[in-house]
Structure 1
C-alpha cells in the first residue's frame, strides 16, 4: 500500500512512520516543509512541500498520484501571533490537499482533527463523535480545526469513491516531542530544567484534558488504513488528566486559581512577548470535553496501550530532558540556540517562517 503522509516530521508523523516501517508492507511518501538532512536508505521517500503556499498544489498532485491513501497530519502551532499564517497552514493546507486528492482520485484520506474541534463541554461526561463540531471562539486553533472539518464536509458531498476518515484525539504526547513542546511553550531564555523547578502551579479547578500517546494514535491510523474505515473516531486514554495530576507530574503544588485570573496573566505575558502561548489555549483547555473512544474500540479493535498518567509523565520527562527526534520539528532545543534565533529572527510567537 502506498501511503502519503503530510506533516510527517512532526509528533504524530514520526510515530506513524515508525509504525508503518515496522509493519513492512507500506510504501511511504513523507511530506514536510523541512525534510531531514540524513535519510535512511530503507526509510520513507521524503518530499519538501510548504502547504501554506498556494503553489504547493503542483507538488501535491505529483506525489499523491498513484497513492492508495493520504494521511493529512500537517498543522501549525507557532508563531502564535501570526494567525493568518497558521490559518494558511492548517485550513489552506487542508484545502490544497483535498483539492489535489479530488483532481487525481485517491481511495482514502485520513484527516487529523482534534478534540479542539468540539463544542465546549457541558459537564464531566465523555462525549462521542456526535458531539457538535463548533469552535471555542477565542482559540484560533479550535476555529481552524472546525474550518478544516467543514472542508471535509464539502469534499465528501462532492467526491465519490474516496473514504474520508476524521480522527479526533486528545492532546498527543511522547518523549521525543519534548524539545518541540519546550520551543512552543517556554521563553527562549529558560532552560529545559525549568520544567522540573516549578514550586507551585496556578491552574483552574475545572481543567481536565483528554490525552493519548502518539504510538496509540499511530496504531489507530494503521487500523483505519487496513480496514479503509470512514467516519469520525475519538482517540483518548480512558480518563483525562486534571490540573492536580499535571502539578504532581511537574513536582509542583497545585493552587486552584480562577480561570479569569490565569488568563489575564497569560494574555499580559503573551502580548509582552515574554512567553509564546496564546491565552486561547487556556480557554480551550478549560472547554474541551472528555472523550468516549468506544467507537474506535468497537469498529477498529483499537484500545490505548498507554494510560493517561503515563503519557503525561513521559511527555513531561521528555520536556525536562529536551528529548529530540531526527527531524527539524523535533530538533534539540538549547538556550543558546533559542537566544540566537531570538536575536536573528525574533520571538517564536511572532517569527515569520523562512
Structure 2
C-alpha cells in the first residue's frame, strides 16, 4: 500500500508514521508537512497543488492542523477548514479510494452528564472556541462530501486529548504558554489541585490513536470512530498522580482566571476553549473495539505519567512542531498565541 500522511511531523503524525511503517501491508509512506524536514515532502495545504502528491495513493491520512495563532482565528480557519477542504477535494480528484481524517472529541455537541456517547451524537461543537467550531464545520463539510463521492471511503477518527512524551513541550507551548515551569510538575511540588466540579475529559496515547488509524487504513471500514482510553480524567485523578490534595474551586473562578491570563497575553488558550472542555461528552469506544479490533495499550494513568515526565524534562523530537523546550523567550517576544 502507498499511504500519504499530511501533518506527518506533528504529535499524531509522528505516531501514525511509526505505526504505518511497522505494518507489512504498507510499502510506501509519503510524508507531507508545511515546514521542511528530512524525508518529508514540503507542502502547504492552503495553497499548493495537492492532486499530484496524492495521485496513486491507496489512502490519504489527513492530520495537518494549526492550533496557533489562537488570537487570529481567521488564520487558523484558512489553514484548518479551507486547507482540509482542499485535501479532501484533492483526494477525490486524484482518485484515492480511502480518506482517513482525524476529527476530535471537540467536534461533538455538549453533554454535561457522564453517559457515554456513540458516534451518532450530534457534531455541532461549541461555538465559543475556534478549535471546536472548525472541527464541527468540517464534520458538516464531510457529510456533503461523502454524498458527492460515494465510492470514496471516508473514515473520521474522533479521539480524546492525545498525549505522548515527545509532544509535551509542544502542548505546553500551544496551551499553557511560556510562563508555566514544566520542571515543577512533579509529585511533592504541587500541594493542591483545584477540584472544578464538572471538569472531566478523556485522553489517549499517541501510539494508541496511531494504531487505530493504521487499522482504519488497512481494513475495509468507513464512518466515525471514537478513540479514548480509561479511566476518565478529572481533577481528583490528576491530584492522585501528583500526590496532591484537592480543594473545591467553582468553575466560574477558574474561567475568570483563564480570561484574565488570556487578556494579559500570558497564556495562548482562550477562555472559550475552557468553556468547550467543560462541555465535552464522554466517549463510547465500542465501535472501534468491535470493527477495528482496537484496544488502547496504555491507560490514562500511564499516558499522563509519560506526558508529565516529558513536561518536566522539556522533551521533544527532531521536527519543527515537536521542538524541545528551548525557546521560551522567543515565545514571549513574538507574542503568546500570535504565531503559528
What is the TM-score normalised by the length of structure 1?
Answer: 0.91
Partner of 2:3: helix, strand, or coil?
Answer: strand
Unmatched runs of 5 consecutive residues or more in structure 1? 40-44
Shift of 1:247: 2.8
* 1:42 corresponds to: none
Shift of 1:342: 2.8
Shift of 1:303: 0.9
Aligned pair partner of 2:154 in 153, 164, 171: 164
Unmatched runs of 5 consecutive residues or more in structure 2? none
- 1:21 paired with 2:49, answer no
- 1:64 paired with 2:65, answer no
* 2:138 corresponds to: 148
* 1:240 corresponds to: 232
* 2:40 corresponds to: 46
Query: How well do the aligned residues superpose, as a CA RMSD in angstroms?
Result: 1.6
* 2:164 corresponds to: 174
Closer, same or farther: CA 161–173 of 1 in aligned 2, 3 Å:
same
- CA contact 2:81–2:138 (8 Å) conserved in 1: yes
Alignment of 1:96-115 (within 5 A): 96-115=86-105
Shift of 1:5: 0.6
- CA contact 1:210–1:240 (8 Å) conserved in 2: yes
- 1:86 paired with 2:67, answer no
Aligned pair partner of 1:346 in 332, 335, 339: 335
- CA contact 1:239–1:290 (8 Å) conserved in 2: no
Shift of 1:309: 1.5
What is the TM-score normalised by the length of structure 2?
Answer: 0.94
Alignment of 1:237-316 (within 5 A): 237-316=229-308
Equivalences, count: 337
Alignment of 1:202-221 (within 5 A): 202-221=194-213
Partner of 2:145: helix, strand, or coil?
Answer: helix
Closer, same or farther: CA 75–248 of 1 in aligned 2, 3 Å:
same
Shift of 1:300: 1.0
Shift of 1:248: 3.0
* 1:131 corresponds to: 121
